[in-house]
Amino acid sequence: MSTGNELARVAAAETGTGKPEDAVAPETLALIDTYLRDHPGGTERLIPVLHRVQEELGYLPFPVIKAIAERLGISPIQAYGVVSFYHFFTTTPRGRYQLKVCMGTACFVRNANSVLESVHETIGLEVGGVTKDRLFSLEQVRCLGACGLAPAMMVNNEVYGYLTRAGVRKLLQGLRAKARTPHPGGEGGNG
Amino acid sequence: METILITVNGQPVEVPVGFTLLEALRHHGIELPTLCHDERLTPYGGCRMCVVARRDGRPGLVPACSTPVLPGMKIDTEAPEVHEARRRQLQLILLNHRMECPVCERTGDCRLQDLVFEYGGDEGQLPFALVRRPRDEASPLIVRDPEKCILCAKCVRLCDEVQGVAAIGVVGRGLEARVATWLDGPLECEFCGQCVDACPVAALAIPQFASELPAWQRTAVTTTCSYCSCGCELTVAGDGTRPAGVSAAPASRPNHGKLCAKGRFGWDVLRHRDRLTQPLVRQGGRLAEASWDEALAAVASGFAAARERGEVIAAVGSTRLTTEDAYLLQRFVRETLGSPHVSAGIDPGVEALVAGMGEALGVPRSTATIADLATADAVLVLRADPGRTHPLVKTELVTAARRGAKVLLAHPFAGTLSTLAAQHLPLAPAGEEALLSSLLAELLRRRGGAGDAVERLDGYAAWRAGLDGYRTGLAAALTGVAPDEVGRLADRLEAAASLVVTVATGRGIPGRVVGVARRAVELLAVLGLLGRPGSGVLVLGERANTQGVVLAGLDPRLGVGGGSAPAPGWTAAETVRRAAAGEVGTLYVLGQDLLGAWPAGIGACRAVEHARFVVVQDPFLTDTGRAADVVLPVRCLVERDGSLIGADGVRRPLRPALTPPVPLPGDGEVVREIAVRLGAPLPDSAEVEAELARACESPERVRVLRLTPPSPLEAPPSAGGVCLDLGPQLFHSGSTTLRSAALLGLSAPETVLLAPEDARRLGIERGDTVRASAGGREVLLRAEVNDRIRPGTAMALWGGDGSGAGRLVTDPARPLAAEIGRRS
């Protein structure tokens, strides 16, 4: 493709019938369109719709960001500027179970590091990583607001407190066993 | 203007309400340092250089750029803590800036360097490792050096707020923050280069302007862009041999610091290999280089002989000529050669002004200006996507749409205006006049008449009767615009307190431009907006001096200043037709390539063949030049001296900002020299200037209005169910830009846009090579499928003149009935 070419821009940006790898799954487009239809307004809907889509897919693939931008009448790089600004949004796939280990002051002094170590020992994950089967991903966060339970970790939307190395191991093994049942899509790698 | 009183550095100062502190201070000539501020942009408050101390009881420093003035405010702009804050801020900026001033290309022309020199900040660097990021050379024409970037985001904001493109954005946060393109690809934008102009440091640069000479030794000449008729002011920096930068100051008018790709990058044409440096004279059947003296003697004796034989002499000039040269040419032809047949070439812009505006209002001028777009309530955009034909107009529409003005676009393809337009009417090619007529009919029906002022006019009954044909929505079938869409357009126009109608002109834009201009004037009259300040019709010429040559009298129907001609002569089209029939003995062609621009033939070939003596005056060796008896090389574009009159009717100086490859005369100088050799010198510059000053005076207000009945309904031609429309490309506007390597590097291959249903029906897929044929000629184009194009219309994006699908054009007034199919 010739670079900086007006037509490429016209064709790709104005029609959305771009390259095949830009294809977004119809159900994802439907999700975006439904959300935008139910929430009339302007570009202020960018963050909420990103939330909604990430909730569903587990992350924000670039073609999805582009599709959202086109629907809001902004350029893809503007939408990505927002995505890249907020720690919460991610463009890389996350695990089905997103582990968020609290590294806030209270957890830190109660040895949050041991929680990270235990996660690493059990499923081999480093901070920022995803297991090969995309079952788990690991992040550290500043404060979960659960200082009384320190050291604490969130798994998706649930908080687990008073964690020990053994407790972490047991929790993760339990989740892995539970995952043997087929899961309802979501992180399915649509583009 | 309502004002309030504030105290600045102990002095009471009166400032307008609603200003920011920075605006208020600059209003009074008090300067504050800034890096991220630009008066054209929303205040950003990013660099914190403009901080001032408050002395009215409130603690702390405030950024002046984003603090509104309040009554009783007391501030100190030069307190020690203010200076210290600026120094520390610079220190933080320098933390992550690759500082290499002695070898940096911007040294001496760097805002950051200036401020560090003034406030310090480079001493005692904080211990910190620069975040390494490679220089980005993936884009054409523009390179980015992210390690120099200070994240003022002016480039990002200009690209969005002013240009309406938003090809770049700030991504990431904190030290990770950087300016990026989508997926870090090469720039995919309009290549206006505004980002480079705005960059206060060396994070953005244009390699073709890199210069060994330090900034303070470069020269700068401010002139007027001579590509399209917007009339942008531009400044060319030079290092003695070539341009070391092309920019526009934020204070420039009418462009407010904006330029387009043509105006910024297109000057390499001046050194194109087709550039003529020596006159050519035909000897023994071949063109051979000759001295100026020989060539001018040949021309003079050829003209004298034709005069003696009583042959018809005709001159075809160009709308690229300067106003002064156009004036001299028409006087030379009319008085020295004694022929009334002098014109500015086959140019729809001239027709729109002379036969359109001139017939309707008695004055061959636009009645609106580009500046009016800044205040108009509604803008009706006709005949083209100005994003491609007149880039400055598009940026003004971006600004207008963002302040809430209604941009109403009637065009087969929404193109660059798709996100701005409040209403897009997917018009069939060349359907503008029919649309305006049905709009007028709708307004008359709603209002029960056209209003007293219009109804009193001669010819009202015939005009009204002509419009009746448009009453029933019959027009809808032909224009492709549903009656309720016309109704909605009428609602919007009736609601507008001020309306500008833009009528783009150009060889690539089919349709009856004269009828469109007349109907547009009538529309304003019926709406009661004719002659109102801020409303009017803006005719956008394709070439830089369309308006200027008309006012200089370079038209067989007009005298100087736009009055009627002393003795009417033939238009360019008529001249060519007569010449082809053998009625013209001598043809003098200036700045016009009759053969190359019309390869499908308008008879120019036969015209040049039949004329006994053909003189071509052009910067380049054109097809017409190759067939001429004498070819005279001249200066080109911004090498010239004189003036241009933009679409807005403002006369702007053209100063020689670049030099020709060898010393060459201007068009007017050559004409003068020929006149001297014929024994009839033309008037001196002072007399020319006196007459032009009178001719270019703007008329106080519209006094007359003449109604002309609308053209009868006519179906657009189509072949195979698809009508081929030529859409000008952004980066090209004809034979000149098509010689620019820089611009050719940006342009797409010859491409045709098809609606998905048409593509399916014709069995064409994106990327296919398709054949478009008409009148026994054919061109190959690459197919793009685009769901924003009107079904039934195929738009060939075209570079102007005889390129690509332009090779098929025989009648600029009509869309092409071309057959389109897959190349088998």
* pLDDT at res. B801: 74
Alpha-carbon dihedral B255, B260, B266, B267, rounded to 10 degrees? 20
Given an 8 Å threshold on Cβ–Cβ distance, is B183 in contact with A7? Answer: no
Q: Give the per-residue pLDDT at B733.
A: 79
Q: Which residues in chain A have Cβ-Cβ distances shorter than 8 Å to B795?
A: none
All residues of chain A having their beta carbon less than 8 Å from the beta carbon of residue B418 are: 14
B369, B322, B352: which is closest to B541 by C-alpha? Answer: B352
Cβ A75–B751 below 8 Å, yes or no?
A: no
Are the CB atoms for B53 and B61 separated by under 8 Å? yes
Residues from chain B that touch A128, judged by Cβ atoms under 8 A, are: none
Residue of B191, B418, B797 with shortest CB distance to A14: B418
Residue with tokens 């803590």: B81
pLDDT for residue B123: 83
Residue whose entry in the numeric block shows the structure tokens 């238009």: B571
Burial class of residue B145 (count of CB atoms within 10 Å of its CB; 0-12, 13-18, 19+) = buried
Tokens of B51: 């901080």
d(CA B461, CA B549): 35
Helices (H), B496-559: 513-526, 546-551
Between CA B302 and CA B622 the distance in angstroms is 21
With beta carbons less than 8 A apart as the criterion, state whether B193 and B264 touch: yes
Q: State pLDDT tens for residues B727-768.
A: 888 888 777 888 888 888 887 668 899 999 999 999 999 989
> Could you tell me if B731 and B739 are in contact, meaning their C-beta atoms sit under 8 angstroms apart?
no
At B399, which helix (H) or strand (E)?
A: helix B391-402
Taking an 8 Å cut-off on Cβ atoms, the answer to whether B785 and A15 are in contact is: yes
Looking at per-residue confidence, does B3 or A179 come out higher?
A: B3
Please tell me which residue of chain A has the smallest CA distance to B174: A85
Residues of A near B (Cβ–Cβ under 8 Å) read 2-15, 17, 62, 66, 73-78, 80-81, 84-85
Cα–Cα dist B795/A25, whole Å: 31
Q: Which fold has domain A97-178?
A: Glutaredoxin (3.40.30)
Q: What is the ipTM of this complex?
A: 0.90
How many Cβ contacts (< 8 angstroms) between chains A and B? Answer: 97
Partners of A77 on chain B (C-beta within 8 Å) are: 166-169, 171, 180-182
Determine the Cα–Cα distance for residues B717 and B715; give it in Å rounded to an integer.
6
Is the bond into B200 cis (omega within 30 degrees of 0)?
no
Rounded distance between C-alpha atoms, residue B192 and residue B260, angstroms: 4
Of B130-139, B623-632, B800-809, least confident by mean pLDDT is B800-809
Rounded to an integer, the average pLDDT of B588-597 is: 90
Report yes or no: B442 and B490 within 8 Å, Cβ to Cβ: yes
Task: Summarize the confidence of residues B651-668 as an average pLDDT.
Answer: 95
The minimal CB distance from A10 to the residues B165, B185, B786 is found for: B786
Q: Which of B142, B173, B182 best probes binding to A when mutated, by most A CB atoms within 10 angstroms?
A: B182
Query: What's the gap in Å between the CA of B394 and the closest CA on chain A?
Result: 15
Q: Which residues of A touch B167 (CB under 8 A)?
A: 75, 77
CA A99 to the chain's CA centroid: 11
Among partner residues B165, B181, B788, which is closest to A14 by beta-carbon distance? B788
Cβ partners under 8 Å of residue A16, min gap 6 = A67, A70
User: B753 is written with which tokens?
Assistant: 């846009």
CB contact under 8 A, A4 and B187: yes
Of chain B, the percentage scoring pLDDT greater than 70 comes to 98
The candidate with the shortest Cα–Cα distance to B113, out of B217, B233, B215, is: B215
- Give Cα separations from B320 to B196, B349, B549, B556, B738 (angstroms): 29, 12, 8, 17, 16
Q: Considering only CB atoms, which chain B residues are within 8 Å of A85?
A: 171-173
Cα torsion through A63, A68, A69, A70, rounded to 10: 90
What chain A residue is nearest to B788 in terms of C-alpha separation? Answer: A15
Q: Given a cut of 50, is residue B623 above it in pLDDT? A: yes
d(CA B574, CA B513): 18
Inter-residue contact B770 to B752 (CB < 8 Å): yes
Mean pLDDT, range B652-656, rounded to an integer: 96
Most confident range (mean pLDDT) of A169-183, B330-344, B454-468 is B330-344
Partners of residue A76 in chain B, C-beta under 8 Å: 182
Chain B residues with at least one Cβ partner in A under 8 Å: 138-141, 160, 165-173, 180-183, 185-191, 414-415, 418-419, 729-731, 746-749, 751, 753, 766, 784-788, 797
pLDDT of residue A185: 47
* Mean pLDDT lowest among A63-72, B301-310, B693-702: B693-702
For tokens 């997103």, the residue is A98
Question: What residues does each domain of chain A span?
Answer: 7-85, 97-178
pLDDT bin (cut points 50, 70, 90) of residue B353 is: very high
Task: Pick the residue of A6, A64, A71, A88 with the most B CBs within 10 A to test the interface with B by mutation.
Answer: A6
Which residue on chain A is closest to B170 by alpha carbon?
A: A81
For residue B731, the chain A residue with the least C-alpha distance is A6
* Chain A residue closest in CA terms to B782: A7
pLDDT at site B719: 52
- B581 falls in which pLDDT band (50, 70, 90)? very high
Please give the angle made by the CA atoms of B733, B738 and B742, to the nearest 5 degrees: 105
Identity of the residue in A3, A17, A77 whose CB atom sits nearest the CB atom of B182: A77
Report the alpha-carbon distance of residue B735 to residue B550 in Å, rounded: 22
Q: What is the spatial distance between Cα B585 and Cα B569, in angstroms, rounded to a whole number?
A: 15
Non-local (6+) Cβ contacts of B234 within 8 A are B222, B223, B224, B225, B246, B247, B248, B252, B255, B259, B263, B264, B638, B657
Chain A interface disruption, residue of B161, B184, B188, B418, most A CBs within 10 A: B188
DSSP-based three-state secondary structure for B744? helix
Q: What is the pLDDT of residue A188?
A: 40
Q: Structure tokens of B255?
A: 């462009």
Task: Give residue B725's pLDDT.
Answer: 85
Distance from CA of A67 to the nearest CA of B (A): 13
Number of H helices, E strands in chain B: 26, 32
Q: Closest Cα to residue B772, out of B600, B560, B645, B634? A: B600
Report which DSSP code applies to B60. S
CA B195 distance to own-chain centroid: 19
pLDDT surpassing 70 at residue B136: yes
Closest in A7, A62, A76 to B751, CB measured = A7
Check CB contact under 8 Å for A17 and B766.
Answer: yes
CB contact under 8 A, A73 and B419: yes
Chain A residues near residue B729 by CB distance under 8 angstroms = 6
Structure tokens at B170: 């700030």
Residues in B closer than 8 angstroms to A5, CB to CB, are: 188, 746-748
- The CB density around residue B811, as the number of other CB atoms within 10 Å, is 11
Residues B427-446: tens digit of each pLDDT? 988 899 999 999 999 999 99
Residue of B189, B784, B788 to mutate when probing chain A, most A C-beta within 10 A:
B784
| pLDDT tens digit sequence for B394-433 | 999 999 999 999 999 999 888 888 889 999 999 988 899 9
Phi, psi of A106 (to 5 degrees): -65, -45
| Alpha-helical segments (H) within B103-191 | 111-119, 154-157
Look at A66 and B182 and tell me if their CB atoms are within 8 Å.
yes
Q: Which of A4, A80, A85 lies nearest to residue B173, judging by beta carbons?
A: A85
- Are the CB atoms for A99 and A87 separated by under 8 Å? no
Contacts of A73 in chain B (CB under 8 A): 419
Nearest CB partner across the interface for B186, out of A3, A6, A77: A3
Higher model confidence: residue A94 or residue B171? B171
**How much is the pLDDT for A2?**
36
pLDDT one-digit tens code per residue, B54-94: 999 888 899 999 999 999 999 999 999 999 999 999 999 99
Question: What per-residue confidence (pLDDT) applies to B712?
Answer: 81
The residues facing B232 across adjacent strands are none
Among the partner-chain residues A9, A62, A74, the one whose CB lies closest to the CB of B183 is A62
Cα–Cα–Cα angle for B152, B153, B157, rounded to 5 degrees: 140
Q: What per-residue confidence (pLDDT) applies to B672?
A: 98
Which pLDDT score, from 0 to 100, does residue B472 have?
62
Could you tell me what percent of chain B has a pLDDT over 90?
77
Low-confidence ranges of chain A (pLDDT < 70): 1-22, 181-191
Average per-residue pLDDT for chain A: 85
- Binary contact (A4, B748; C-beta < 8 A): no
Structure confidence by residue, pLDDT tens digits, B518-534: 999 999 999 999 999 99
Q: How close does chain B come to A7, measured CA to CA in Å?
A: 6
Mean pLDDT of B631-641: 96
Residue ranges of domains in chain B, CATH in brackets: 3-78 (3.10.20.740), 124-270 (3.30.70.20), 280-347+546-682 (3.40.50.740), 350-540 (3.40.228.10), 723-822 (2.40.40.20)
Contacts of B657 (CB under 8 A, 6+ apart): B221, B222, B223, B234, B235, B236, B238, B638, B639
Closest to B160 in 3D by CA, of B119, B189, B126 = B189
- Which residues in B276-314 are b (16+ Cβ under 10 Å) and which e? beebbbbeeeebeebeeeebbbbbbebbeebbeeebbbb
Q: What is the pLDDT of chain B when averaged over all its residues?
A: 92
Closest residue to A81, CB basis, from B170, B189, B731? B170
* Interchain pair B182, A75: CB under 8 A: yes
Contact B161, A75 (CB under 8 A): no
Give Cα separations from B113 to B89, B107, B306, B349, B652 (angstroms).
14, 7, 66, 47, 35
| Residue B604 pLDDT level (bands cut at 50, 70, 90) | confident
Q: Strand B51-54 relative to strand B61-63: parallel, antiparallel, unpaired?
A: antiparallel
Q: Which helix (H) or strand (E) holds B668?
A: helix B667-677
Q: SS3 of B780, please?
A: strand
Q: Which one has a higher pLDDT value, B511 or B290?
A: B290
Residue B44 contacts residue B66 (beta carbons within 8 Å): yes
Q: Which residues from chain A sit within 8 angstroms of residue B415, using beta carbons?
A: 10, 14
CATH class of A7-85: mainly alpha
Q: What pLDDT sits at residue A17?
A: 40
Kindly determine whether residue B746 and residue A76, on different chains, have CB atoms separated by under 8 Å: no
